[in-house]
Amino acid sequence: MRSILEYDTVALDDENSALVIIDQTLLPGEIKLLHLTEQSAIWEAIQTLRVRGAPAIGVAAAIGLYLAVKPSAAETAEAFLDELHAAADYLNSARPTAVNLAWALKRMETAARRRADDTVPALKEVLHRECLAIWEEDIDVCRRLGENGLTLVKPGDGLLTHCNAGQLATVRYGTATAPMYLGHQRGYGFHVYCDETRPLLQGARLTSFELSSAGIDTTLICDNMAPSLMKRGAIQAVFVGCDRVAANGDAANKIGTLGVAIAAKRFGIPFYVVAPLSTIDLATPTGGEIVIEERSGDEIREMWYEKPMAPAGVKTWNPAFDVTDNDLITAIVTEWCVARPPYTESLKEMFQKKEAAQP
């Protein structure tokens, strides 16, 4: 049986005009690849978390947008670009919080509009190349995130992570787990603790699954056990991913991250957010402006249980994310460098350096 790490989380099957993803709702019990050809199926896969994790969502959206207009019969570039925009709007409506979704769709549209004088077949090829470039860049970016994150820890450290910012949230390597994978390959001997991450259990179902599959020393804990583990001295650093970083360094990540950050601050443990530049949104001033997705209460009452575990009709509040305030974040690890407070300056400087480095 193939290991989960032998699969790309997201891929393009151009010959069959399909987006290929691992159905993460079935993990860890079953590894099943979905070949999605209809836009409604791609939208549903993003909305229901069959594909999830900010970078993976972005890559899936880019491939999905290319597939949306690949069969277009538009006779003019103008008509084709109108179709492209409508398809982008549709996919962008699947989930509101992860900035990579909108970022990837905007990048695809921009690539096409720069060539607005080309023929429709030429524009289709532009989009084909761009979605593959986004796919390839995700792999490279995650590897660089791992290298930068690895500079912050030492061999033998105990590391804590929350939710899944692993390979299953990207094409390969992951974001918050990238330093763990690279360190494991180099004999660092990390002991990684995974929060279960209620109510969707991404830490239990996904992170502990993929890390243990890689041979990393992995321990699964309930979310409410992390502070006690910190107090015992078992944790030397916390690494988490995120779905959006505001210009001031506030970071939206899976619900429960804020509590981990508060506990880490209490016990003097560095708390690192690992995020590609595509997840940093300088147009959002603070975390207060980030739209937080609220999901069905059935995820709390019934999901993953053989029988409902709460009274019928009881009220629920089920935000998918929370915002960790920037003063709780020791550093933000990007593919360019490790940003430190004040983030309003360091994050802006990173983007300026990136733009200056581009040909």
Rounded Cα distance between 260 and 264, Å, is 6
Contact predicate 344/250, CB 8 Å:
no
Rounded Cα distance between 279 and 238, Å, is 19
Q: Residue ranges of the chain with pLDDT lower than 50?
A: none
What is the pTM for the complete model shown?
0.91
DSSP reduced 3-state for 306: coil
Catalytic-labelled residue, pool 157, 223, 243, 281? 243
Q: For residue 275, give the DSSP letter.
A: -
Q: List pLDDT tens digits, range 296-346.
A: 999 999 998 999 999 989 999 999 999 999 999 999 999 999 999 999 999
What domains, with CATH codes, occur in the chain? Answer: 4-140 (1.20.120.420), 143-357 (3.40.50.10470)
Q: List pLDDT tens digits, range 107-125.
A: 999 999 999 999 999 999 9
Q: For residue 291, give the DSSP letter.
A: P
Distance of CA 315 to the CA centre of its chain: 29
Give residue 254's pLDDT.
97
Give residue 156's pLDDT.
98
Give residue 1's pLDDT.
57
- Segments of 14-98 assigned E as strands: 18-22, 33-36
Rounded Cα distance between 142 and 33, Å, is 22
Indicate if 243 belongs to the active site: yes
- Burial bucket for residue 305 (CB in 10 Å: 0-12, 13-18, 19+): exposed
Cβ neighbours of residue 191 under 8 Å, at least 6 residues apart? 156, 157, 158, 159, 217, 219, 234
Give residue 132's pLDDT.
98
Q: Which tokens hold the place of 76? A: 């003019």
Contact predicate 154/341, CB 8 Å:
no
Rounded Cα distance between 27 and 187, Å, is 28
